[in-house]
Amino acid sequence: MTPLKNLSPYIKNKYGGYTITRDSIGMSPAEVYKMSYNGDEAVYLKRSARKYRNTTYDVKREYDIIKWLSAKLNLPGIIHYEETENFNTLLMSGMKGVDLETLKENISINEYIDYYVRSLKIIQSIDLKQCPYDNRVNNRLNELSYLIENGLADINVDGWEDDTEFTDSTELYNYLTANKPEEDPVFSHGDLCNSNIFIDNGKIGFIDLGRCGTADKWMDIAFCVREIRELNNAPRWTDLFFNKLGIAPDWEKIKYFILLDELF
């Protein structure tokens, strides 16, 4: 049983008897808890501290995106959302199926790549009309400036990619500011990694939606490339990925968006 403090009266009264387990896998500073009771279907509580409000770590963004996209994509269901002095808190239903990170142990690399290609096509097919959030480079850099100034950015270079040539956050931030690409906006997941893609009898769903919004099409593609390379770095697999997508790689943009993610 994980102690969970600062709960609102509503959540205490409704879920006080539930077994609560904290998710220690995700990298986001938002807290995620699995709440279950006597074998019932689990409920997931996700909350973000006040200092993250108006950033892509704010669970209000996830709440807004799910409301906007619930009829268009396979997503967690909203059970309850609230804002208190210290936290924004979102209660969601779980996703059916298994995440791609787990599934990769039992499928071929070819099938793994197929799921990324399908996921990208689903995400990028969303019409941007009335999209609630703009995550293009200028806005992400403004957010990053706030995170750095407030000690909230990931400045630990030991956790950066092995081929990242920068040695500190200031150097990297200056590079990102000076080399902003011309953007081709589409709807973007913003963190399209294998743990955020769920497969249920071939149907694809998505979680961890706080970074969803308008962004350059190469942002999500860059994350897919990174994930495929982590599984197998042989060039033939990224070649296969782009063959399946039917486009030629833009390696400059791929590099840029992987570098942009280093500080988040």
48 vs 248: CA distance, rounded Å: 38
Reported as half-sphere exposure (CB side, CA atoms, 13 A), residue 16 has a value of 6
pLDDT band at 163 (very low <50, low <70, confident <90, very high): confident
Contact 113, 126 (CB under 8 A): no
Q: What's the whole-number mean pLDDT along residues 4-28?
A: 83
- Establish whether 158 is a catalytic residue: no
Exactly one of 99, 191, 216, 261 is catalytic; which is it?
A: 191
To the nearest whole number, what is the mean pLDDT of the chain?
93
Burial class (CB within 10 angstroms; exposed 0-12, middle 13-18, buried 19+) of 137: buried
Each residue of 112-136: pLDDT tens digit? 999 999 999 999 999 999 999 999 9
Each residue of 174-184: pLDDT tens digit? 999 999 999 99
Task: Give the pLDDT confidence score for residue 41 in this predicted structure.
Answer: 81
- DSSP state string for the chain: -----S--HHHHHHHTTSEEEE--S--SSSEEEEEE-TTPPPEEEEEEEGGGTTSTT-HHHHHHHHHHHTTTS--PPEEEEEE-SSEEEEEEEPPSSEEHHHHGGGS-HHHHHHHHHHHHHHHHTS--TT-S-B-SHHHHHHHHHHHHHTT-S---GGGS-TT----SHHHHHHHHHHTPPP--EEEE-S---GGGEEEETTEEEE---TT-EEEEHHHHHHHHHHHHHHH---HHHHHHHHHHHTS---HHHHHHHHHHHHT-
169 vs 92: CA distance, rounded Å: 35
pLDDT band at 5 (very low <50, low <70, confident <90, very high): confident
pTM (two decimals): 0.94
Task: Give the pLDDT confidence score for residue 6 in this predicted structure.
Answer: 80
Task: Give the pLDDT confidence score for residue 17 in this predicted structure.
Answer: 86
Task: Give the pLDDT confidence score for residue 2 in this predicted structure.
Answer: 56
Contact 153, 145 (CB under 8 A): no
Task: Give the pLDDT confidence score for residue 156 in this predicted structure.
Answer: 80
Q: What's the whole-number mean pLDDT along residues 102-117?
A: 97
Whole-number percent of the chain with pLDDT over 90 = 79
Task: Give the pLDDT confidence score for residue 24 in this predicted structure.
Answer: 72
C-alpha 165: how far from chain center: 24
pLDDT over threshold 60, residue 1: no
Residue 136 CB neighbour total at 10 angstroms? 16
